[in-house]
């Protein structure tokens, strides 16, 4: 086989090393699938002398990844550095300006600088591939861009962050507090030393913005994604959620409503019959509603070196076979700017938990204020606190607008003796 695709890899962390191992181990299969010999010719990382469980002796070493991106020897640059800006973005820009193809696992960069990079890619006639940015081992980008092209997508829901799913699943099964489970997740390698991007929902929001652009032919608008994390979820809420038939998950959801786009990431109560409710641990799951296929569910490992590297390899083969035409399914000029729907226009049911002193009349006051704001209550639980003698009042509302529940809660906090802040979690509509 004389034809080849020459690859250079920026970043030799766990994903970079796993990518090189797969190329080395499956070279014959990859060549057969792509019709070309996949040849890694160069690598770049911060520390040349770091111990790595892989042989790098056959690759040219670059201390400067931007220099590597402009080197004439490579056809495609694989960017695995990470970070929305800085060196990773410099590498991406240099790659396209040099007329090379770019493959990246950098969801922050794609979500925040996607329009600029897409413009550069189209101008240079380069491929911009990013399957590894969302849900690791789940081929969700290819599914939306190619497999479901014959559908009008109405809604996407997803468990898009394995760290959050692991923490919430473990809190549910063990009854332990958030901080304790987070520390365990860090020891196991499921959470970073600074876990803010994961537990505050930012990582999931980056991924949702990418999926929404693909699904709805819209320009990426990460800033329009309403984002909440999981820091405020308490062990007691899992107990009451289970009693009511729900599980708590961090869900990203996007869809079109009356010509506008909603993109929201926040904790949700999912009915136990929802297919995502049974997805636990560090797994991801995406549910797509399509006009022709109905409900499609994709579940798998959403993070980790091997699943992410698997997605990178798929993009390498696509580049080798010239399989990708448009980065987001259509040319940049056909991506529309759809007006966002703010979370204040959310319409749905809510789970609300109050802690109150065990005194007569407290629930009557709460109920009266809900009535004043036209909020109907579907389910009510009253349970004694296990240790301090107070009472938990748990209410599941009927469908109501976000602004109404917020107004009612403000009224209650002013006029009823509530201990601490109420726990408020939206309830995702059944599929």
Q: What is the 3-state secondary structure (H, E, C) of the chain?
A: CCCEEEEEEECCCHHHHHHHHHHHHCHHHHHHHHCCEEEEEEEECCCCCCCCCCCCCCCEEECCHHHHHHCCCCCEEEECCCCCCCHHHHHHHHHHHCCCEEEECCHHHHHHHHHHHHHHHHHHCCCEECHHHCCCCCCHHHHHHHHCCCCCEEEEEEECCHHHHHHHHHHHHHCCCHHHHHHHHHHHCCCCCCCHHHHCCHHHHHHHHHHHHHHHCECCCHHHCEECCCCCCCHHHHHHHHHCCEEEEEEEEEEEECCEEEEEEEEEEEECCCHHHHCCCCEEEEEEEECCCEEEEEEEECCCHHHHHHHHHHHHHHHHCCCCCCCCCCCHHHCECCCECCHHHCEEEEEEEEEECCCCCHHHHHHHHHHHCCCCEEEEEEEECCCCCCEEEEEEECCEEHHHHHHHHHHHHHHCCECCCCEEEEECCCC
pLDDT at 431: 55
Give residue 386's pLDDT.
66
Contact of 128 with 118, CB cutoff 8 Å: yes
* Domain extent at residue 104: 4-129
User: Active-site residue among 6, 107, 207, 301?
Assistant: 207
Instruction: Give domain status of residue 310, yes or no.
Output: no
* 207 is known as an active-site residue: yes
Domain match, 224 and 262 both: yes
- The CATH number linked to 397 is 3.30.70.260
Domain-embedded: residue 421? yes
Would residue 324 count as lying in a domain?
no
Same domain flag for 283 and 352: no
The pairing of beta strand 294-301 with beta strand 283-290: antiparallel
Query: Does 173 fall in a domain?
Result: yes
pLDDT at 2: 58
Residues 279 and 223 in one domain: yes
Spatial distance between the Cα atoms of 392 and 401, rounded to a whole number of angstroms? 24
pLDDT given at position 188: 86
What are the residues facing 383 on neighbouring strands? Answer: 392
This prediction has a pTM of 0.94
Q: What is the pLDDT along the chain (431 residues), one digit of tens a residue?
A: 459 999 999 999 999 999 999 999 999 999 999 999 999 999 999 988 888 888 898 999 999 999 999 987 999 999 999 999 999 999 999 999 999 999 999 999 999 999 999 999 999 999 999 999 999 889 999 999 999 999 999 999 999 999 999 999 999 999 999 999 999 999 988 888 899 999 999 999 999 999 999 999 999 999 999 999 999 999 999 999 999 999 999 999 999 999 999 999 999 999 999 999 999 998 999 999 999 999 999 999 988 899 999 999 999 999 999 887 788 888 888 999 999 999 999 999 999 999 998 888 999 999 999 999 999 999 999 988 767 778 999 999 999 999 999 999 999 999 998 998 999 999 997 65
Beta bridge partners of 30: none
pLDDT value at residue 359 = 85
Kindly state whether residues 155 and 120 are assigned to the same domain: no
**Domain check: are 57 and 92 in the same one?**
yes
Position 203 in a domain? yes
Are both 12 and 111 inside the same structural domain?
A: yes
Distance in angstroms (rounded) separating the CA atoms of residues 321 and 41: 19
* Same domain as 351, residue 265: no
| 307 inside domain | no
Q: Are 267 and 425 in contact (CB under 8 A)?
A: yes
Domain containing residue 227: CATH number: 3.30.360.10
256 and 116 together in one domain? no
Q: Are residues 361 and 239 in the same domain?
A: no
Residues 290 and 236 both lie in one domain? yes
Number of domains in the chain: 3
The answer on 188 and 274 residing in a single domain is yes
Residue 325 maps to a domain: no
Task: Identify the domain boundary among 343, 372, 401.
Answer: 343
Whether 89 maps to a domain, the answer reads: yes
Residues 117 and 187 in one domain: no
CA distances in angstroms from 63 to 44, 60, 168, 189, 351, listed in the order given:
6, 10, 41, 28, 53
């Amino acid at each position: 086989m004389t034809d080849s695709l020459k690859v250079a890899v920026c970043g030799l962390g766990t994903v970079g090393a796993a990518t090189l191992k797969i190329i080395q181990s499956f070279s014959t299969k990859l060549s057969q699938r792509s019709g070309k010999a996949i040849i890694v010719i160069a690598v770049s990382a911060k520390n040349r002398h770091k111990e790595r469980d892989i042989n790098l002796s056959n690759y040219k070493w670059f201390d400067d990844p931007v220099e590597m991106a402009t080197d004439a020897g490579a056809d495609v640059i694989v960017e695995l550095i990470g970070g929305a800006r800085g060196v990773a973005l410099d590498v991406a820009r240099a790659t396209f300006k040099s007329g090379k193809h770019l493959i990246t696992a950098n969801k922050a960069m794609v979500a925040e600088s996607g329009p600029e990079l897409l413009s550069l890619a189209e101008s240079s006639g380069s491929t911009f591939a990013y399957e590894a940015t969302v849900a690791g081992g789940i081929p969700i980008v290819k599914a939306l861009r190619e497999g479901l092209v014959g559908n009008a997508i109405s809604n996407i829901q997803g468990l898009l962050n394995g760290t959050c799913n692991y923490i919430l699943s473990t809190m549910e099964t063990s009854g332990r507090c958030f901080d304790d489970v987070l520390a365990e997740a860090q020891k196991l390698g499921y959470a970073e030393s600074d876990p803010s991007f994961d537990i505050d929902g930012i990582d999931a929001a980056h991924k949702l913005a990418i999926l929404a652009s693909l699904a709805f032919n819209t320009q990426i608008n990460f800033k329009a994604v309403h984002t909440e994390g999981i820091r405020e979820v308490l062990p007691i809420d899992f107990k009451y959620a289970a009693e009511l038939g729900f599980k708590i998950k961090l869900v990203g959801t996007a869809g079109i409503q009356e010509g506008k786009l909603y993109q929201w990431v926040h904790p949700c109560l999912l009915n136990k019959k929802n297919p995502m409710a049974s997805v636990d641990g560090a797994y991801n799951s995406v549910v797509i509603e399509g006009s022709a296929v109905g409900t499609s569910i994709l579940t798998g490992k959403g993070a980790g070196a091997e699943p992410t590297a698997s997605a990178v390899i798929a993009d390498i083969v696509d580049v080798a076979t010239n399989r990708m035409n448009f980065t987001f399914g259509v040319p940049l000029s056909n991506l529309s700017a759809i007006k966002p729907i703010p979370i204040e226009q959310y319409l749905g049911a809510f789970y609300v938990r109050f802690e109150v002193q065990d005194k007569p009349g407290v629930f009557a006051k709460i109920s009266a204020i809900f009535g004043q704001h036209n909020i109907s209550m579907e389910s009510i639980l009253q349970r004694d606190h296990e240790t301090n003698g107070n009472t938990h009042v748990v209410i599941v509302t009927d469908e109501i607008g976000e602004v109404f529940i917020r107004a009612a809660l403000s009224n209650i906090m002013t006029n009823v003796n509530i201990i601490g802040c109420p726990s408020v979690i939206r309830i995702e509509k059944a599929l």
